[in-house]
Amino acid sequence: MFEVLTGTGLAASAGLNAYIPLLVLGLLARYSDLIDLPSGWTWLGNGWVIVILAVLLAVEMVADKVPVVDHINDVVQTVVRPTAGGLAFGAGSSSETVTVSDPGSFFTSHQWVPVATGVLLAFGVHLLKSAARPVVNATTAGFGAPVASTAEDATSVVVSLIAIILPVLVLAFLVGLVVFIYWFFRRRSERRREREAARAAGFRV
């Protein structure tokens, strides 16, 4: 159960920002005892990999806060974020952490399953983020982009840490995500009906 929650939290985090969960995994594995990466994922703790991830994160954080550029970045990240989600789920769900002492008991075979699961989770969160950002930009004349991006980055960091240290709280994040999805699409439907009603009233006039 903890393995699933750890992987889910890291993959969802990657859907918001591809590099944060991978960087968190690498830094914690290299400089702390909170996580012990399995042999196939120890490269995440390599110093050069950490530096590269940090540089990519810096570029991503800047690009994602500029209106129009953030949309282009989301298009590019359509491939990157799901890939990172697969890597994060695969590494996180098969690692020994402070809450998972026997990761080998989960996904003992079919090693592609956790990676594929992470890809799908990250892709779903990425699609939601990509759909919400144009709405934020349109309703705030672009001023909401840096605020929304900063909130997403902060959420990605917090969820990544929680997924490793206290994965049971990932359930709360998932519930919140479901509530947000419901609210977002309901609000989007209401706005569409309002526009159609306004257009119909204009035609009658």
For residue 49, what pLDDT band results from cuts at 50, 70 and 90? very high
pLDDT digits (tens, 9 = 90+) for 94-141: 666 655 555 555 555 556 566 777 778 888 888 878 777 777 777 777
Q: What is the pLDDT of residue 57?
A: 92
Radius of gyration of the chain, Cα coordinates, nearest whole angstrom: 19
Quick check: 182 pLDDT over 90?
no
Across 77-95, average pLDDT: 82
Q: In percent, how much of the chain has pLDDT > 70?
A: 80
Higher pLDDT among residues 205 and 116, named by residue: 116
| Cα pseudo-dihedral 179, 182, 183, 189, rounded to 10 | 180
Across 161-169, average pLDDT: 81
Quick check: 174 pLDDT over 70?
yes
Quick check: 53 pLDDT over 90?
yes
Cα separation, 126 vs 14, whole angstroms: 8
Cα separation, 31 vs 100, whole angstroms: 19
Cα separation, 186 vs 194, whole angstroms: 12
Reference 13, options 139, 143, 140, 174; nearest CA is 174
Token pair for residue 51? 């530096």
Q: Phi, psi at residue 96, to the nearest 5°?
A: -90, 120
Q: What is the pLDDT of residue 54?
A: 94
Q: What is the residue type of 104?
A: G
CA–CA distance from 171 to each of 5, 103, 155, 162 (Å)?
8, 19, 14, 10
Q: What is the pLDDT of residue 200?
A: 63
Q: What is the pLDDT of residue 65?
A: 86
For residue 204, what pLDDT band results from cuts at 50, 70 and 90? low
For residue 23, what pLDDT band results from cuts at 50, 70 and 90? very high
**Residues ≥6 apart with Cβ < 8 Å to 193:** none
Contact 17, 156 (CB under 8 A): yes
Contact 62, 50 (CB under 8 A): no
Q: What is the pLDDT of residue 51?
A: 94
Quick check: 81 pLDDT over 60?
yes
Contact 107, 93 (CB under 8 A): yes
Q: What is the residue type of 76?
A: V
Higher pLDDT among residues 8 and 158, named by residue: 158
For 142, counting Cβ atoms within 10 Å of its Cβ (0-12 exposed, 13-18 middle, 19+ buried), the class is middle
Across 14-39, average pLDDT: 88
